[in-house]
Amino acid sequence: MFQALSAYNHLLLTEGQREGIGVVLVSPRNPLNIGAVARAMANFGFARLAVVAPFEAHWREARSAVGAPELLQIAREAATPGEAVADCTLVVGTGTLTYRKPEQRVVALPELGPLVERELAGGGRVAMVFGPEKHGLTRGDLEFCHLLVEIPTDKRQPSMNLGQAVAVCLYELACRGAGTAELAADAGRRSATSGDLELLAGVVEEAMVAAEYSPELMREANRHDLRVLLRRLGPSARDARRILGLFRRILWRMRRDG
């Protein structure tokens, strides 16, 4: 049995690849679910966990993190989803399409592995984002995501327990990659991080306000559309810097000319 297990483990992503993938839990309510997530992460060799605005203050003490209590101790706590994924170049939201019309590209779970491995081959970092147990990720949470992945479930029971959902997704990522050999051609292109895109969106929004692009009551909707659009376009880090410089120049000229 142990011999077979050892032979199977060579199919998993390398340790370096797994270090480039993190799990983000947005507003989880039950510490036991957070512990179950930590256990699932440890099962597949993942260690980067971020918890956004947890409902319970003592979530690090969850007893359900069997074999992974240290993972909870080193987990990062963030105030917002944007803060939790700022250093990531590919942010994948999870959920069901039963009650929502997605604004992001939707990817079937079995297709996710090659996309993630391609991003890692280019030097990027990936975040898998999971929403609260009751309603999942909101429209506001998803505006930080490049993709939306749906776990295929029976329509009579479309939602999954948080720990189970994380385990299923991490299994797919750990075992279903495309192989680094065929991805070498993409290794020279580094995608802009979510933090880069937030900075760019902020400057574009400033230019829109300075130009009186739309009424003030539309600013929140414009901000949402900008975030979604930039992640859909997926610019490289270099292109994002160029566009940022362009809009800063435009904004400077507008302010100088009154």
Q: Is it true that domain 13-186 has CATH number 3.40.1280.10?
A: yes
Bridge partner residues of 168 (DSSP): none
Give me the pLDDT at residue 10, please.
58
Give me the pLDDT at residue 95, please.
83
Give me the pLDDT at residue 102, please.
84
pTM confidence score: 0.87
Domain ranges of the chain: 13-186, 194-256
Give me the pLDDT at residue 224, please.
96
Walk along the chain (258 residues) in steps of 10 and give the mean pLDDT of each run: 49 82 95 94 94 91 88 95 97 83 89 90 94 89 94 81 93 69 54 96 95 92 95 94 95 86
Give me the pLDDT at residue 246, please.
96
Give me the pLDDT at residue 97, please.
76
Give me the pLDDT at residue 234, please.
92
Give me the pLDDT at residue 66, please.
87
Give me the pLDDT at residue 178, please.
43
Give me the pLDDT at residue 185, please.
45
